[in-house]
């Protein structure tokens, strides 16, 4: 399993065989994009441009597809407490 090695890693949820959290590095995502003939180029564009301090990005990985969850909370989490 890949370790969390830098702040550019994105949270991934791998749903197979059992749901688990995994780090998704930019290099791994680029490699996947090449394997799927540039079909996830938009995902890479979002990952390159999102603001880690203001937005949440999660990649959900299933057997035949990936989904990107990207949102900006109305209130920053520390403001809740």
pLDDT digits (tens, 9 = 90+) for 21-70: 999 988 989 998 999 999 999 999 999 998 888 888 999 989 888 899 99
Residues 6+ away with beta carbon under 8 Å from 42:
none
Domain boundaries, the chain: 10-72
List the structure tokens of 31: 């490699």
Tell me, letter by letter, the H, E, C secondary structure of 4-71. Answer: CCCCCCEEEEECCCCCEEEEECHHHHHHHHHHCCCCCHHHHHHHHHCCCCCCEEEEEECCCCEEEEEE
End-to-end CA distance of the chain: 34
Q: For the whole model, what pTM was predicted?
A: 0.74
């Amino acid at each position: 399993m890949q370790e969390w090695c830098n702040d550019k890693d994105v949270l991934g949820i791998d749903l197979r065989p059992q749901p688990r959290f995994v780090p998704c590095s930019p290099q791994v995502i680029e490699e996947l994009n090449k394997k799927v003939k540039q079909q996830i180029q938009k995902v890479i564009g979002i990952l390159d441009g999102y603001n880690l301090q203001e937005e949440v990005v999660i990649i959900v990985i299933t057997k035949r597809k990936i989904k990107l969850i990207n949102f900006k909370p109305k209130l920053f989490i520390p403001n809740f407490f």
